[in-house]
Amino acid sequence: MTERERVVRMSVEQPLWRALTGYRVLTMGYAVLLFVFTREKFERPWVAVGFLAVLCVWTLATLPKVAGAASCTRRFLVADLALALTGILLTPLADAQAQSIEGPTLPTIWTAGSVLAYAIKGGWRWAGFASSLVAVANIIERGHPSRDTVHNVLLVWVASIAIGYVVEVARASERTLARALEIEAATRERERLARDIHDSVLQVLAMVQRKGTALGGEAAELGRMAGEQEVALRALVAGGLARPSHVSEDESQGAVVRIVEEPDEPAGDGPSDVRALLAPYAGSRVTLSEPGAPVLLPPAVAGELAAAVGAALDNVRRHAGEDARAWILVEDWPDEVVVTVRDDGPGIPEGRLAQAEGEGRMGVALSIRGRLRDLGGSAELVSVPGQGTEVELTVPRGKAQR
């Protein structure tokens, strides 16, 4: 059993095993008390006393066996059910009138605990097998299938199978959930790596392509190869399988990029001031507006938020032109931090973002929205052709602290 299966099984079944442990102890006490108050009607009370003594010792000694699925072995289940069946079949020997007068058997409802152990351990099929044996033993004990006996047998049979089925469904659901969580974790790690690649390797390749094309000669060939690798790497990051064999003229002429070094995260475990991380982005064409007081967030959160702002500014330089102006507005609210990046560029044509994602250009999808999603926040992009673009980054403080 793998660690994941062990965790799933414990999370689903542990409350059921605890309930079964309490049920067995309580029904053991009920069987003993029932005999004490009705002992006058037993022709051979010593038979009942002997069986109940064994039942009490067995129940208390095997409490660790019903503490979980791992300790509840098949050998224990067989012995436990055998004890319950023996008690049912010994009832006429202890009470000669048991076959003519409808009454409880020696183990009484303790027998249901054995059947339930089968249901929790093996599901509805095991429950059906155990309850069928109990049904046969009850009919033999009564000597004939009376109405009350049939009702009791059907009740145990249906209840145990229903519980076994519920256990199987719960196990399947939690296995599916565990698998989904694994896939989600793998996807998030893949997106994190893709963001790092987008913010570093892809930009370097684009710069090499541009410089090589401008220099000409052998450098142009180097630039062409760098362009091919950039497109191929973008396709890999986006999950594409095709490897482009050439770079279009538009791509070779339009791969203008400026590398922006992300501010290092401050050392230490204390909160970071978002203003300090965004200050390096300010310049002659980038205006930073910030509160007078520090805007504090956990270091990792502040670093990711600053990286998302850097990705937004990089998109401004690449798509709005070197002469475009940008404004950064930092707002510090009690429950969230909001950073808005606005530019005066030509805006984004409708459908361009979806097209860019299809081409493997994941700047907005990964470097901006992906980062904010991982922080529990959101990234809203509003763009009107001819009126610039505005990106609003929101980080809730509660989620950011966690």
Confidence of residue 25 (pLDDT cuts 50, 70, 90): very high
**Higher-confidence position of 193 and 82:** 82
Q: What percent of the chain has pLDDT over 70?
A: 74
Confidence of residue 70 (pLDDT cuts 50, 70, 90): confident
Q: How many CB atoms lie under 10 A from the CB of residue 351?
A: 8
**Higher-confidence position of 132 and 321:** 132
Write down the pLDDT at residue 348.
77
Mean pLDDT for the chain overall = 78
pLDDT at 106 > cutoff 50: yes
Write down the pLDDT at residue 234.
61
Structural contact between residues 243 and 235, judged by C-beta atoms closer than 8 angstroms? yes
Residue from 218, 221, 200 nearest 209 by CA: 221
Q: State pLDDT tens for residues 310-322.
A: 888 888 887 777 7
Q: What is the mean pLDDT of residues 11-23?
A: 84
Please classify residue 395 by burial: count the beta carbons closer than 10 Å to its beta carbon, then call 0-12 exposed, 13-18 middle and 19+ buried. buried
Residue from 336, 346, 338, 356 nearest 399 by CA: 336
pLDDT at 28 > cutoff 90: yes
**Higher-confidence position of 346 and 76:** 76
Write down the pLDDT at residue 79.
95
Confidence of residue 399 (pLDDT cuts 50, 70, 90): low
pLDDT at 30 > cutoff 90: yes
- Cα atoms in the 13 Å half-sphere on the side-chain side of 148: 10
Write down the pLDDT at residue 241.
33
Lowest pLDDT segment from 18-27, 140-149, 257-266: 257-266
**Higher-confidence position of 226 and 242:** 226
pLDDT at 341 > cutoff 90: yes
**Higher-confidence position of 254 and 388:** 388
Q: What is the mean pLDDT of residues 218-228?
A: 74
Q: What is the mean pLDDT of residues 160-177?
A: 85
Confidence of residue 375 (pLDDT cuts 50, 70, 90): confident
Write down the pLDDT at residue 397.
87
Whole-angstrom CA distances from 258 to 17, 261, 313, 357, 363 are 62, 10, 10, 21, 14
Q: What is the mean pLDDT of residues 236-241?
A: 50
The phi, psi pair for 113, rounded to 5°, reads -65, -40
Write down the pLDDT at residue 294.
92
Write down the pLDDT at residue 203.
65
Q: What is the mean pLDDT of residues 78-100?
A: 85
Confidence of residue 351 (pLDDT cuts 50, 70, 90): low
Write down the pLDDT at residue 117.
92
Lowest pLDDT segment from 140-154, 176-190, 225-239: 225-239
Write down the pLDDT at residue 259.
36
**Higher-confidence position of 362 and 185:** 185
Lowest pLDDT segment from 46-60, 127-141, 293-307, 362-376: 362-376
Q: State pLDDT tens for residues 246-259.
A: 333 333 333 333 33
Confidence of residue 232 (pLDDT cuts 50, 70, 90): low
Q: State pLDDT tens for residues 247-301.
A: 333 333 333 333 334 444 444 568 999 999 999 988 888 999 999 899 999 998 9
